[in-house]
Homo-oligomer: A and B are copies of this chain.
């Protein structure tokens, strides 16, 4: 992949699902991209508290933001897919409050904070698009707060399957009938605030109810209507409607 080539394709799909991105803005984004690298599965690329002067765009693979407690239990705060900035917020937070880890082998690109500052100075509409992108992360966090606080294990699990379908579809990585989600039941448990044992039982329940089938990193949606109903899924929070920022 040449510098900038292909690197921002998924990001552009994600942004253009929400608002227009002009050729000049596209060029500005491309210019902001620094080095492209591979990251091995299970590698934590940024640790909470670390000072960073660049953000990371995920080009391919799955990453997550996670926090842990002294006991060693871990909670994933967000799953990231191709086209997501995994830490665009480090631009204003400086020291991240969480760790960032690759769940699968990943390709990432770095974007220096100086380049982001320049965008806010010279390309305000593009800056608003990036601001939107961090606001979308926050919206996803809020939905997870609702899930963790008030949905039971079955509904919460179903909800995550809905969310990932919708988000992956935006960047062309999911069909109506299913998608690849190459993570373990233990990873899922860390997203859902459950134990992996219980996730296993819940997945069986979804399978036996002919609702959805998660196996070997592959999600099959057997009955979308039923899945949405169980999850009480309302995609409003994913902000899929076009707008003018």
Contact indicator B142/A77 (Cβ below 8 Å): yes
Contact status of A236 and B92, CB under 8 A, knowing A146-B75, A148-B149:
no
| CB contact under 8 A between A146 and B232, given known A92-B132, A127-B120, A241-B95 | no
For A245, the chain B residues whose CB sits under 8 A away are 92
Contact B97 A232 (CB under 8 A): no
Q: How far is the CA of A121 from the CA of B131 in the complex (A)?
A: 14
Q: How many copies does the complex hold?
A: 2
* Contact of A93 with B by CB under 8 A: yes
How many Å lie between the Cα of A132 and that of B131 in the bound state? 9
Name the B residues within 8 Å of A146 (CB-CB): 67, 69, 75, 77
A75-B145, A142-B141, A148-B145 known; A128-B92 Cβ under 8 A: yes
Which chain B positions have C-beta within 8 A of A93? 132, 135-136, 139, 239
Q: How large is the interface on A (under 10, 10 to 19, 20 to 34, 35 or more residues)?
A: 35 or more
A193 is an interface residue with CB less than 8 A from chain B: yes
- Which A residues, 216 to 237, have Cβ-Cβ distances below 8 Å to chain B? 232, 236-237
A94 to B142, CA, bound (A): 16
Q: Is B89 touching A139 in the complex (CB atoms < 8 A)?
A: yes
Query: Would you call A14 an interface residue if the criterion is a C-beta within 8 Å of the partner chain's C-beta atoms?
Result: no
User: In the complex, what residues of B have CB within 8 A of residue A75's CB?
Assistant: 145-146, 149-150
Interface residues of A in 123-145 (CB under 8 A from B): 124, 127-128, 131-132, 134-139, 141-145
> How far, in angstroms, from A239 to B91 measured CA to CA in the complex?
13
Whether A70 sits at the interface, judged by CB under 8 Å, is yes
Write out, one digit per residue, whether chain A residues 77-101 have a CB within 8 A of any chain B CB (1) or not (0).
1100000000001011111011000
Residue of A127, A128, A141, A239 with highest tally of chain B CB at under 10 A? A141
B135 touches A236 (CB 8 A): no
Contact with B along A190-206 (1 / 0, CB 8 A): 00110000000000000
A127 contacts across to B, CB distance below 8 A: 120, 124, 127
Pick the contact of A120: B97, B128, B145 (CB < 8 A). B128
- 10 cross-chain pairs, A with B, having the tightest CB-CB distances, nearest first: A149-B193, A141-B141, A148-B148, A97-B237, A138-B138, A92-B132, A75-B149, A77-B142, A89-B135, A120-B124
Q: A67-B142, A70-B232, A120-B127 are in contact. List 9 more A-B contacts (CB 8 A).
A: A75-B149, A117-B128, A120-B120, A127-B127, A134-B134, A141-B142, A141-B144, A144-B145, A149-B193
